[in-house]
Structure 1
Amino acid sequence: MSHPVITIARQFGSGGRLVAQKVAAALNIPFYDKAVIDLVAKETGFSHEFIQQAEQKRTSSFLYSLYMSTHSLPVTDQVFLAESDVIRRVAAEGPCVIVGRCGDYVLRSHEGLLSVFIHAPLDERIFRAKEEYKIDAPDLRSYVLKLDKQRASYYEHFTDRTWGKAENYLLSIDSTIGLDKAVDLILTLARSQGLQA
């Protein structure tokens, strides 16, 4: 029998990463976010910075893609494939929480997948970016929207799904209910699937 694995996708500034950390701590299971980058860097030789940049960008030029298809996979595709291998491997090892990186799509065939999307109104996310994340950008609204657009573009490039669309997730949560309440909802779902702290 397959074991539960929780994937958490999130809008920038929604507090989704913090929710994921709290869920993993409450269940005493591994938490993978930047740790996925660490594992990919170790296995591929790519630097952390290079991997992070590749995650935020994809080449949409048809001519570039056509050219690269005759030579080798584009680097963004190589990074995605390496991350997918790491995600499948850590999910096979036991229950865990995985943040972002198309985890819900990569593990779509995993029998115990609990996929979650965390979102919040734009004003809330701008406030969190400024007050909690201490982002110093001249136009925080544009900054937050740009990061969401990058996440959506990356996700939609590598999957056949729309990022953030509720039907693609088992649970979609507006974090304005409170991060602790969001954690409680996910824990209730996880425990109903047999995960206990």
Structure 2
Amino acid sequence: MEKQLIITIAREFGSGGHEIGKILAERFHITFYDRNILETMFEGKEKTQEVLKQYEEKPVNILFSRRVRGHTNSLEENLAQMQFDFIKEKALSGESFVIIGRCAESVLYDNENAIKVFIRGNQKNKLDRIMKKYNLDEKEANSKIKRHDQSRARYHNKYSIEKWGDAKGYDICLNSSCLGIQKTAEVIENYIKMRNEDK
């Protein structure tokens, strides 16, 4: 039986981490999970998927949430826990996969088959990518990057052991602006192959 491979990718907005994850999933012929995780969790329930997408990877809104005897009415928090349970179940099943975000490196911190990656990028490269992708001017793109990264950091830091982007929480951290998307994916691919050779 082929050894299980799990690649968790945390990323700065605009760094191309999502695209790198897709490339790695194709290279290793494994499942790719991002927002489609909701489609898998709630298959056949399209309306539920649409509603929950608004709360996915979002910090808890403390004004509209409360906790009583260990239970919370926060949709953000409940959805986060459901996704963490889903990730753990997939890992325990022996499935190989790439997962984008969702604190997966922390959820699977003690899983020896999980390769934990963080992708960052230079501001100029991120701005260029976001301006082109969303048809925004530089000021709008800069605001979007800042808003998304702040939201990701707050979400991640609530549920994770290490701080978002702190190298201590990952096996490998790369700046995609140095080599570009394809070559950054190749570096990660080679790292995984070399690491697995030693096991």
With normalisation by structure 1, the TM-score equals 0.86
User: In the alignment, residue 82 of structure 1 is paired with which amino acid?
Assistant: M
- Provide closer, same or farther for how the CA distance between residues 190 and 43 of structure 1 changes in structure 2, counting only shifts above 3 A: farther
- Identity of paired residues, percent? 26
With normalisation by structure 2, the TM-score equals 0.85
Give 1:44-123 correspondences, 5 Å limit: 47-59=48-60, 61=62, 67-70=66-69, 72-73=71-72, 74-92=74-92, 93-123=94-124
**Aligned-pair Cα RMSD in Å:** 2.5
Q: Offset at 1:46?
A: 7.2
User: In the alignment, residue 150 of structure 1 is paired with which amino acid?
Assistant: S
Instruction: Report the Cα distance in structure 1 between the residues aligned to 2:83 and 2:45, rounded to whole angstroms.
Output: 10
Deviations 1:69-116 (A, max 9, x none): 358322111101110111112223322111111111111111111000
Instruction: Report the Cα distance in structure 1 between the residues aligned to 2:144 and 2:164, rounded to whole angstroms.
Output: 18
Divergent runs of 4+, >4 A: 43-46
- Provide closer, same or farther for how the CA distance between residues 37 and 135 of structure 1 changes in structure 2, counting only shifts above 3 A: farther
Q: Offset at 1:135?
A: 4.4
Once the two structures are overlaid, the 10-residue window that deviates more, 36-45 or 113-122, is 36-45
Who is 1:166 aligned against?
A: 167
Residues paired across the two proteins, number: 192
Q: Offset at 1:171?
A: 0.4
Once the two structures are overlaid, the 10-residue window that deviates more, 1-10 or 83-92, is 1-10
Q: What stretches of structure 2 of length at least 5 have no aligned partner?
A: none
Instruction: Report the Cα distance in structure 2 between the residues aligned to 1:145 and 1:28, rounded to whole angstroms.
Output: 33
User: In the alignment, residue 68 of structure 2 is paired with which amino acid?
Assistant: S
User: In the alignment, residue 128 of structure 2 is paired with which amino acid?
Assistant: F
Q: What stretches of structure 1 of length at least 5 have no aligned partner?
A: none
User: In the alignment, residue 194 of structure 2 is paired with which amino acid?
Assistant: S
Structure having greater relative contact order (Cα 8 Å, sep ≥ 6)? 1
